[in-house]
Amino acid sequence: MKKITIVITGGTAGIGLATARYFSDRGHRVFISGRDKRRLDSALATLSDTCGGAVGDVNDTESLQRLYEMAGPIDVLFANAGVSYAAKPLHELSIEEIERIVNTNFMGVIRTIHTAIPSMNNASSLIINSSTIGKYSFSGQSVYGATKAGVEGLTRGLAGELAPLGIRVNAIRTGFIDTEIIENSGVPTAEANAIRAGAVSAIPRREIGKPDEIAEIVEFLGLGACFVNGEVITADGGQTACFVPPPYDA
């Protein structure tokens, strides 16, 4: 199999790190970014010597440019970085919190892509990490859901805009994946465990997804699937396909 260069934002934990390891283990050049140097160094220690990374934030164009210059010509870009928050209604969020979420999850993706385009190879692949909440928004996650709906719209629009440059654009609509994103959003451990238990009960196969399972989809979209463009692939264990809404109480 051809060896490629893949860049992953938010590559120091969760889906991003699992994807970095997945590609590194298969001999590809992997370049990751993260905001915390200690976590970045720890992540890089698990990758091969041909991999690299840079401390940076998707809201900082200069740090993205440094990452892309380090990587050289890019075959696959996985716009993975994102933030969540403990569920609460819009009116209980401060404007500062809302701006942080929107700036990272939506504008951060736009900045990641806009800055990368000059470094993307012909016949390259751009993959955005979305969420089922972007289509089936939940109470208490309206802002998060809006950002994910936004990147799915971006995916479809960019598919046509970037096709003349030889860049395919797709997104992965992930369901509940076993990462630390819940704890990182400030949810207490007991509540996080309850959320996981609730997620398991809603998934037909009665288990939450593994980060490596998302990495496999990144591989599919990045190394093959050349006729797939502008699509959003759902990976949620069948949760939304089998969702039964609660009865309407008039």
**Whether pLDDT at 198 is above 80:** no
In this structure, are residues 52 and 99 in contact, taking their beta carbons and an 8 Å threshold? no
Domain contains 26: yes
Judged by average pLDDT, the poorest of 90-94, 184-188, 229-233 is: 184-188
Domain contains 188: no
Domain contains 121: yes
- What tens digit of pLDDT does each residue of 1-60 get? 789 999 999 999 999 999 999 999 999 999 999 999 999 999 999 999 999 999 999 999
Residue-number span of the structural domain to which 223 is assigned: 5-182+210-235
Domain contains 194: no
Higher pLDDT, 201 or 117: 117
Domain contains 111: yes
For the chain, the domain total comes to: 1
In this structure, are residues 149 and 135 in contact, taking their beta carbons and an 8 Å threshold? yes
**Whether pLDDT at 250 is above 50:** no
Query: What's the chain's average pLDDT?
Result: 91
Q: Which helix (H) or strand (E) holds 174?
A: strand 167-174
Please tell me which residue in 85, 136, 144, 248 is annotated as part of the active site: 144
What is the distance between the alpha carbons of residues 110 and 128, in angstroms, rounded to a whole number?
10
**Whether pLDDT at 92 is above 60:** yes
- The string over 75-114, giving b where at least 16 C-beta atoms fall within 10 Å of a residue's C-beta and e elsewhere, is bbbbbbbbbbbebeeeeebeeeebebbbbbbbbbbebbbe
- What tens digit of pLDDT does each residue of 65-74 get? 999 999 999 9
DSSP assignment string, 14-82 = HHHHHHHHHHHHTT-EEEEEES-HHHHHHHHTTS-TT-EEEE--TT-HHHHHHHHHHH-SEEEEEE---
- Which CATH number goes with the domain that contains 13? 3.40.50.720
Torsions phi, psi for 168 (to 5 deg): -90, 145
Confidence category of residue 185, pLDDT binned at 50, 70, 90: low
Domain contains 197: no
Q: In the chain, pLDDT over 70 holds for what percent of residues?
A: 89
- What tens digit of pLDDT does each residue of 131-155 get? 999 988 788 999 999 999 999 999 9
Domain contains 187: no
Q: Which residues contact 169 (CB under 8 A, 6 or more apart)?
A: 126, 127, 128, 155, 158, 159, 162, 229, 230
Confidence category of residue 220, pLDDT binned at 50, 70, 90: very high
Q: Which residues contact 84 (CB under 8 A, 6 or more apart)?
A: 144, 181, 182, 184, 185
Give the pLDDT score at 121.
95
Task: Tell me, yes or no, if 144 is annotated catalytic.
Answer: yes
- Identify any residues that bridge with 128 across adjacent strands, giving them in sequence order: 79, 171
Domain contains 224: yes
Rg of the chain on CA atoms, in Å: 18
